[in-house]
Structure 1
Protein backbone atom coordinates (compact mmCIF):
# COMPACT_ATOMS: atom_id res chain seq x y z
CA UNK A 1 0.00 0.00 0.00
CA UNK A 2 1.19 3.46 -0.81
CA UNK A 3 -0.07 5.36 2.22
CA UNK A 4 -2.04 5.19 5.44
CA UNK A 5 -5.16 7.32 5.68
CA UNK A 6 -6.53 9.26 8.62
CA UNK A 7 -8.59 6.90 10.80
CA UNK A 8 -12.25 7.95 10.94
CA UNK A 9 -15.33 6.62 12.69
CA UNK A 10 -18.71 5.72 11.26
CA UNK A 11 -19.88 9.32 11.90
CA UNK A 12 -17.55 10.39 9.08
CA UNK A 13 -20.20 9.21 6.61
CA UNK A 14 -22.34 12.14 7.82
CA UNK A 15 -19.61 14.80 8.19
CA UNK A 16 -17.11 14.18 5.39
CA UNK A 17 -16.23 17.05 3.05
CA UNK A 18 -17.34 14.87 0.12
CA UNK A 19 -20.43 12.67 0.52
CA UNK A 20 -21.84 10.77 -2.43
CA UNK A 21 -25.18 9.19 -1.53
CA UNK A 22 -27.04 6.70 -3.71
CA UNK A 23 -30.19 4.66 -3.01
CA UNK A 24 -32.19 1.93 -4.72
CA UNK A 25 -35.06 -0.35 -3.76
CA UNK A 26 -34.66 -4.07 -4.39
CA UNK A 27 -36.76 -7.19 -3.83
CA UNK A 28 -34.29 -8.99 -1.55
CA UNK A 29 -34.94 -8.84 2.20
CA UNK A 30 -32.48 -6.96 4.46
CA UNK A 31 -31.09 -10.16 5.98
CA UNK A 32 -29.99 -11.60 2.65
CA UNK A 33 -28.42 -8.30 1.61
CA UNK A 34 -26.60 -7.97 4.93
CA UNK A 35 -25.14 -11.47 4.61
CA UNK A 36 -23.91 -10.68 1.09
CA UNK A 37 -22.33 -7.42 2.23
CA UNK A 38 -20.85 -8.43 5.57
CA UNK A 39 -20.35 -12.18 5.49
CA UNK A 40 -19.66 -13.11 1.85
CA UNK A 41 -16.71 -10.77 1.30
CA UNK A 42 -15.23 -12.87 -1.51
CA UNK A 43 -18.61 -12.77 -3.30
CA UNK A 44 -18.39 -9.01 -3.92
CA UNK A 45 -16.47 -9.61 -7.15
CA UNK A 46 -19.45 -11.61 -8.46
CA UNK A 47 -21.93 -8.73 -8.21
CA UNK A 48 -19.94 -5.48 -8.02
CA UNK A 49 -18.17 -5.23 -11.38
CA UNK A 50 -15.57 -2.73 -10.12
CA UNK A 51 -14.32 -5.27 -7.54
CA UNK A 52 -11.65 -7.65 -8.82
CA UNK A 53 -11.15 -9.36 -5.48
CA UNK A 54 -12.14 -8.97 -1.85
CA UNK A 55 -11.12 -11.02 1.12
CA UNK A 56 -11.71 -10.76 4.85
CA UNK A 57 -8.78 -10.00 7.16
CA UNK A 58 -8.36 -10.04 10.95
CA UNK A 59 -11.07 -12.70 11.41
CA UNK A 60 -13.64 -10.53 9.59
CA UNK A 61 -12.76 -7.25 11.35
CA UNK A 62 -11.16 -5.99 8.15
CA UNK A 63 -11.07 -6.47 4.41
CA UNK A 64 -8.61 -6.24 1.56
CA UNK A 65 -10.18 -5.06 -1.70
CA UNK A 66 -8.77 -4.67 -5.21
CA UNK A 67 -10.63 -2.73 -7.90
CA UNK A 68 -10.37 -2.70 -11.68
CA UNK A 69 -7.73 -0.19 -12.67
CA UNK A 70 -5.41 -1.23 -9.83
CA UNK A 71 -6.80 0.59 -6.78
CA UNK A 72 -6.19 -1.34 -3.56
CA UNK A 73 -7.70 -0.82 -0.11
CA UNK A 74 -7.07 -2.19 3.36
CA UNK A 75 -10.21 -1.60 5.42
CA UNK A 76 -11.53 -1.86 8.95
CA UNK A 77 -15.17 -2.71 9.58
CA UNK A 78 -16.77 0.08 11.65
CA UNK A 79 -20.33 -1.23 11.99
CA UNK A 80 -21.98 -4.54 11.20
CA UNK A 81 -25.53 -4.54 12.55
CA UNK A 82 -27.46 -7.42 10.98
CA UNK A 83 -30.23 -6.40 8.59
CA UNK A 84 -29.47 -2.71 9.19
CA UNK A 85 -25.99 -1.35 8.39
CA UNK A 86 -22.55 -2.36 7.19
CA UNK A 87 -19.82 0.30 7.28
CA UNK A 88 -16.06 0.36 6.91
CA UNK A 89 -13.19 2.80 6.58
CA UNK A 90 -10.11 2.62 4.42
CA UNK A 91 -6.91 2.43 6.45
CA UNK A 92 -4.44 2.29 3.56
CA UNK A 93 -4.67 2.73 -0.21
CA UNK A 94 -2.64 3.42 -3.31
CA UNK A 95 -5.19 6.01 -4.54
CA UNK A 96 -3.40 9.36 -4.85
CA UNK A 97 -4.77 12.34 -2.96
CA UNK A 98 -7.03 10.40 -0.58
CA UNK A 99 -6.76 11.45 3.07
CA UNK A 100 -9.79 9.66 4.61
CA UNK A 101 -12.42 7.30 3.17
CA UNK A 102 -15.41 5.48 4.64
CA UNK A 103 -18.48 3.78 3.20
CA UNK A 104 -21.82 2.89 4.72
CA UNK A 105 -24.46 0.51 3.37
CA UNK A 106 -27.79 1.19 5.12
CA UNK A 107 -30.62 -1.33 4.73
CA UNK A 108 -34.23 -0.29 5.38
CA UNK A 109 -37.18 -2.69 4.99
CA UNK A 110 -39.69 -1.56 2.35
CA UNK A 111 -42.65 -3.90 1.98
CA UNK A 112 -41.12 -7.31 1.30
CA UNK A 113 -37.93 -5.77 -0.09
CA UNK A 114 -35.24 -3.34 0.98
CA UNK A 115 -34.14 0.22 0.33
CA UNK A 116 -30.34 0.14 0.01
CA UNK A 117 -28.52 3.41 0.65
CA UNK A 118 -24.79 3.67 -0.02
CA UNK A 119 -22.79 6.59 1.31
CA UNK A 120 -19.29 7.09 -0.05
CA UNK A 121 -17.57 9.58 2.28
CA UNK A 122 -14.18 11.09 1.55
CA UNK A 123 -11.62 13.74 2.30
CA UNK A 124 -8.57 14.46 0.22
CA UNK A 125 -6.60 17.00 -1.67
CA UNK A 126 -8.49 19.57 -3.74
CA UNK A 127 -7.76 17.60 -6.90
CA UNK A 128 -9.00 14.36 -5.29
CA UNK A 129 -12.24 16.02 -4.14
CA UNK A 130 -12.75 17.52 -7.59
CA UNK A 131 -12.18 14.11 -9.22
CA UNK A 132 -14.77 12.51 -6.94
CA UNK A 133 -17.29 15.17 -7.86
CA UNK A 134 -16.81 14.43 -11.55
CA UNK A 135 -17.02 10.68 -10.85
CA UNK A 136 -20.46 10.97 -9.17
CA UNK A 137 -22.42 9.82 -12.23
CA UNK A 138 -20.16 6.82 -12.82
CA UNK A 139 -20.23 5.80 -9.15
CA UNK A 140 -24.01 6.08 -9.16
CA UNK A 141 -24.23 3.84 -12.21
CA UNK A 142 -21.80 1.35 -10.65
CA UNK A 143 -23.93 1.28 -7.48
CA UNK A 144 -27.19 0.76 -9.38
CA UNK A 145 -25.70 -2.00 -11.52
CA UNK A 146 -24.11 -3.70 -8.51
CA UNK A 147 -27.26 -3.66 -6.38
CA UNK A 148 -29.38 -4.86 -9.30
CA UNK A 149 -26.95 -7.71 -9.97
CA UNK A 150 -26.85 -8.61 -6.28
CA UNK A 151 -30.65 -8.61 -6.11
CA UNK A 152 -30.83 -11.01 -9.09
CA UNK A 153 -28.15 -13.22 -7.56
CA UNK A 154 -30.02 -13.40 -4.27
CA UNK A 155 -33.33 -14.10 -6.06
CA UNK A 156 -31.80 -17.06 -7.92
CA UNK A 157 -30.37 -18.39 -4.64
CA UNK A 158 -33.86 -18.22 -3.08
CA UNK A 159 -35.48 -19.99 -6.06
Structure 2
Protein backbone atom coordinates (compact mmCIF):
# COMPACT_ATOMS: atom_id res chain seq x y z
CA UNK A 1 0.00 0.00 0.00
CA UNK A 2 1.46 3.36 -1.03
CA UNK A 3 1.66 6.15 1.52
CA UNK A 4 2.59 9.83 1.41
CA UNK A 5 5.82 10.87 3.08
CA UNK A 6 6.59 14.10 4.93
CA UNK A 7 7.79 16.70 2.43
CA UNK A 8 11.38 17.75 3.11
CA UNK A 9 13.69 20.29 1.53
CA UNK A 10 17.26 19.92 0.32
CA UNK A 11 18.71 20.59 3.82
CA UNK A 12 17.27 17.24 4.93
CA UNK A 13 20.22 15.44 3.31
CA UNK A 14 22.42 17.01 6.02
CA UNK A 15 20.05 16.69 9.00
CA UNK A 16 18.25 13.37 8.52
CA UNK A 17 18.41 10.78 11.32
CA UNK A 18 19.83 8.25 8.84
CA UNK A 19 22.40 9.37 6.28
CA UNK A 20 24.21 6.93 4.04
CA UNK A 21 26.98 8.58 2.03
CA UNK A 22 28.94 6.89 -0.75
CA UNK A 23 31.54 8.33 -3.12
CA UNK A 24 33.51 7.14 -6.12
CA UNK A 25 35.60 8.69 -8.85
CA UNK A 26 34.83 7.97 -12.50
CA UNK A 27 36.44 9.08 -15.76
CA UNK A 28 33.35 10.73 -17.29
CA UNK A 29 33.28 14.55 -16.95
CA UNK A 30 30.76 16.26 -14.61
CA UNK A 31 28.49 17.65 -17.39
CA UNK A 32 28.01 14.16 -18.87
CA UNK A 33 27.33 12.63 -15.45
CA UNK A 34 24.86 15.41 -14.62
CA UNK A 35 22.97 14.87 -17.89
CA UNK A 36 22.71 11.14 -17.12
CA UNK A 37 21.31 11.89 -13.66
CA UNK A 38 18.99 14.79 -14.42
CA UNK A 39 18.08 14.63 -18.09
CA UNK A 40 18.14 10.92 -18.97
CA UNK A 41 15.81 9.61 -16.25
CA UNK A 42 14.69 6.68 -18.41
CA UNK A 43 18.35 5.68 -18.83
CA UNK A 44 18.77 5.02 -15.07
CA UNK A 45 17.40 1.50 -15.61
CA UNK A 46 20.30 0.79 -17.96
CA UNK A 47 23.10 1.63 -15.50
CA UNK A 48 21.74 1.65 -11.93
CA UNK A 49 21.32 -2.02 -11.10
CA UNK A 50 18.50 -1.58 -8.55
CA UNK A 51 16.30 0.46 -10.93
CA UNK A 52 13.83 -1.52 -13.01
CA UNK A 53 11.96 1.47 -14.51
CA UNK A 54 12.37 5.22 -14.21
CA UNK A 55 10.48 7.93 -16.01
CA UNK A 56 10.09 11.67 -15.67
CA UNK A 57 6.72 13.04 -14.54
CA UNK A 58 5.21 16.53 -14.21
CA UNK A 59 7.26 17.90 -17.14
CA UNK A 60 10.53 16.82 -15.51
CA UNK A 61 9.75 18.23 -12.06
CA UNK A 62 9.39 14.70 -10.70
CA UNK A 63 10.21 11.06 -11.30
CA UNK A 64 8.40 7.74 -11.05
CA UNK A 65 10.93 5.07 -10.05
CA UNK A 66 10.38 1.34 -9.60
CA UNK A 67 13.12 -0.81 -8.13
CA UNK A 68 13.76 -4.47 -8.76
CA UNK A 69 11.94 -6.23 -5.95
CA UNK A 70 8.86 -4.01 -6.12
CA UNK A 71 9.62 -0.77 -4.26
CA UNK A 72 8.10 2.27 -5.94
CA UNK A 73 8.80 5.98 -5.47
CA UNK A 74 7.06 9.09 -6.76
CA UNK A 75 9.60 11.86 -6.36
CA UNK A 76 10.00 15.62 -6.64
CA UNK A 77 13.23 17.13 -7.93
CA UNK A 78 14.54 19.53 -5.26
CA UNK A 79 17.75 20.79 -6.88
CA UNK A 80 19.00 20.57 -10.44
CA UNK A 81 22.11 22.75 -10.63
CA UNK A 82 24.22 21.64 -13.57
CA UNK A 83 26.84 20.29 -13.37
CA UNK A 84 27.21 20.18 -9.58
CA UNK A 85 24.13 18.96 -7.69
CA UNK A 86 21.04 16.90 -8.40
CA UNK A 87 18.68 16.15 -5.50
CA UNK A 88 15.16 14.78 -5.08
CA UNK A 89 12.79 13.70 -2.34
CA UNK A 90 10.31 10.86 -2.18
CA UNK A 91 6.68 11.99 -1.94
CA UNK A 92 4.90 8.63 -2.13
CA UNK A 93 6.23 5.11 -1.66
CA UNK A 94 5.08 1.59 -0.95
CA UNK A 95 8.06 0.99 1.38
CA UNK A 96 6.68 0.44 4.90
CA UNK A 97 7.99 2.57 7.74
CA UNK A 98 9.44 5.40 5.63
CA UNK A 99 8.47 8.89 6.85
CA UNK A 100 10.82 11.07 4.77
CA UNK A 101 13.45 10.24 2.15
CA UNK A 102 15.72 12.44 0.02
CA UNK A 103 18.75 11.79 -2.14
CA UNK A 104 21.54 14.08 -3.28
CA UNK A 105 24.07 13.49 -6.06
CA UNK A 106 27.03 15.87 -5.73
CA UNK A 107 29.54 16.03 -8.60
CA UNK A 108 33.06 17.39 -8.16
CA UNK A 109 35.60 17.61 -10.99
CA UNK A 110 38.76 15.50 -10.49
CA UNK A 111 41.09 16.10 -13.40
CA UNK A 112 38.97 15.35 -16.46
CA UNK A 113 36.72 12.99 -14.48
CA UNK A 114 34.19 13.29 -11.67
CA UNK A 115 33.98 12.42 -8.00
CA UNK A 116 30.35 11.37 -7.50
CA UNK A 117 28.95 11.50 -3.97
CA UNK A 118 25.52 10.01 -3.32
CA UNK A 119 23.73 10.75 -0.05
CA UNK A 120 20.62 8.78 0.89
CA UNK A 121 18.87 10.58 3.76
CA UNK A 122 15.89 9.11 5.58
CA UNK A 123 13.61 9.20 8.58
CA UNK A 124 11.18 6.49 9.56
CA UNK A 125 10.19 3.90 12.08
CA UNK A 126 12.88 2.09 14.08
CA UNK A 127 12.59 -1.05 11.89
CA UNK A 128 12.85 1.03 8.69
CA UNK A 129 15.93 2.96 9.89
CA UNK A 130 17.49 -0.24 11.19
CA UNK A 131 16.94 -1.96 7.86
CA UNK A 132 18.57 0.94 6.00
CA UNK A 133 21.61 0.77 8.25
CA UNK A 134 21.84 -3.00 7.74
CA UNK A 135 21.61 -2.45 3.98
CA UNK A 136 24.55 0.02 3.98
CA UNK A 137 27.11 -2.44 2.59
CA UNK A 138 24.76 -3.68 -0.14
CA UNK A 139 23.77 -0.15 -1.11
CA UNK A 140 27.44 0.84 -1.26
CA UNK A 141 28.20 -2.10 -3.53
CA UNK A 142 25.20 -1.28 -5.76
CA UNK A 143 26.38 2.36 -5.95
CA UNK A 144 29.95 1.40 -6.92
CA UNK A 145 28.83 -1.17 -9.49
CA UNK A 146 26.24 1.17 -10.95
CA UNK A 147 28.71 4.05 -11.28
CA UNK A 148 31.13 1.72 -13.05
CA UNK A 149 28.32 0.87 -15.47
CA UNK A 150 27.47 4.56 -15.91
CA UNK A 151 31.12 5.38 -16.57
CA UNK A 152 31.31 2.67 -19.24
CA UNK A 153 28.11 4.02 -20.80
CA UNK A 154 29.37 7.60 -20.87
CA UNK A 155 32.91 6.94 -22.09
CA UNK A 156 32.14 4.56 -24.97
**Which interval holds the TM-score relative to the shorter structure?**
over 0.9
Distance 1:2 1:111 in 2: 43
Distance 1:2 1:154 in 2: 35
Alignment of 1:73 with 2:83, yes or no, is no
Distance 1:107 1:137 in 2: 22
* Gap regions ≥5 residues in structure 2: none
TM-score normalised by length of structure 2 = 0.99
Distance 1:132 1:138 in 2: 10
* Gap regions ≥5 residues in structure 1: none
Instruction: Tell me which residue corresponds to 1:99.
Output: 99
Instruction: Tell me which residue corresponds to 1:26.
Output: 26
Instruction: Tell me which residue corresponds to 2:132.
Output: 132
Shift of 1:2: 1.1
Instruction: Tell me which residue corresponds to 2:13.
Output: 13
Instruction: Tell me which residue corresponds to 2:46.
Output: 46
Runs of 4+ in 1 over 6 A off after TM superposition: none
Instruction: Tell me which residue corresponds to 2:58.
Output: 58
Aligned-CA RMSD value: 0.6
SS of residue paired to 2:152: helix
Distance 2:104 2:148 in 1: 18
Shift of 1:133: 0.6
Distance 1:13 1:146 in 2: 21
Q: May I ask how many residue pairs the two structures share in their alignment?
A: 156
TM-score normalised by length of structure 1 = 0.97
